[in-house]
Amino acid sequence: MDSEQPAIDVKNLTVSYGPVPALLDISLKIDAGQLVGIIGPNGSGKSTLIKSLLGFVKADFGEVQLFGEDVEKAKGRVAYVPQRGSVDWDFPITVREVALMGRYGKQPWWSEMSAEDHDIADYALEQVRMADLRDRQIGQLSGGQQQRVFMARAIAQGGDILLLDEPFAGVDAATERAILDVLESTREAGRTLVVVHHDLATAAEYFDALVLLKQRLFAYGAPEHVLHPELLSEVYEGKLRIFANLQSGQAAGGGV
């Protein structure tokens, strides 16, 4: 990995959809080996930031670099777990086949998957505790199990950066624990993780640093700095109940 370069370097990024701004002049750097959460109200640009890191949306202004390279050049180093609602779960494919999809970019299109590819996919399924269901069709899984399968696909891809869009949304406790274990072990392996997250009550516990967005960057840094009651009240426009202990750096919130 490129220790002399930040894993992610966003410089003055502005993105809009037609006349509607989604991100305004965002600048931040994320070092390798960090587990970073992106928080903010609905429509604040969280998913747009992830898509910008993937090169899925075009910037009006500014740029994104991954390990010092343009996003297009660094695409092979990035793995992505989309929101569960964006996936066609009726597609006739098994759990193991989804995990193997993570290996597609490692092989020429005309080549069959190797024994090593199959071993990597199986290992990824073990990591997310889905190995016993490897032959199950994905549409037969629970929502939490489906999320774990797409985590396995990202692990099998083997990227240096892992981007996840709301992985904890609507999952059961077992899946939440499995996902968190994977995030922590992936970080310990030296990879960089950026996670869109909606639950302020767990944000301080889960992440090394937080990005607070509402079109523009309101705060970026340690959770105890970002989860400040006055700052959250400003970003969420008072539509938030905040229970904070600033001395311990803990904060929790929920909609009123």
What are the pLDDT digits (tens) for 8-43? 999 999 999 988 899 999 999 999 999 999 999 999
Q: For 60-88, what is the mean pLDDT? A: 86
Q: Could you report the per-residue pLDDT of 179-218, keeping only the tens digit for each?
A: 898 899 889 989 999 999 989 989 999 999 999 999 999 9
Integer Cα distance of 38 and 40 in angstroms? 7
Q: For 74-91, what is the mean pLDDT? A: 78
pLDDT of 212 reads: 97
Residue 76 has φ and ψ, to the nearest 5°, of: -70, -10
Question: Partners of 242 in the beta sheet?
Answer: 253
Percent of the chain with pLDDT over 70: 86
Percent of the chain with pLDDT over 90: 53
Report residue 85's pLDDT band, with 50, 70 and 90 as the boundaries.
low
Q: Are 175 and 150 in contact (CB under 8 A)?
A: no
Residue 148 has φ and ψ, to the nearest 5°, of: -65, -35
76: its two tokens: 């092979």
**What is the chain's mean pLDDT, rounded?**
86
Question: Partners of 22 in the beta sheet?
Answer: none
Comparison of pLDDT for 173 and 14, the residue scoring more: 14
Report residue 59's pLDDT band, with 50, 70 and 90 as the boundaries.
very high
Q: Which domains, and CATH codes, for the chain? A: 8-254 (3.40.50.300)
pLDDT of 91 reads: 78
Q: Could you report the per-residue pLDDT of 112-144, keeping only the tens digit for each?
A: 888 999 999 999 999 888 999 999 998 898 888
Report residue 4's pLDDT band, with 50, 70 and 90 as the boundaries.
confident
Q: For 83-108, what is the mean pLDDT? A: 78
Q: Where are the alpha helices (DSSP H) in the chain?
A: 46-54, 95-101, 115-127, 143-157, 173-188, 200-206, 223-226, 229-235
Q: Are 197 and 225 in contact (CB under 8 A)?
A: no
- Contacting residues for 4 by C-beta, under 8 A, at least 6 apart: none
pLDDT of 256 reads: 31
* First-last CA distance in the chain: 44
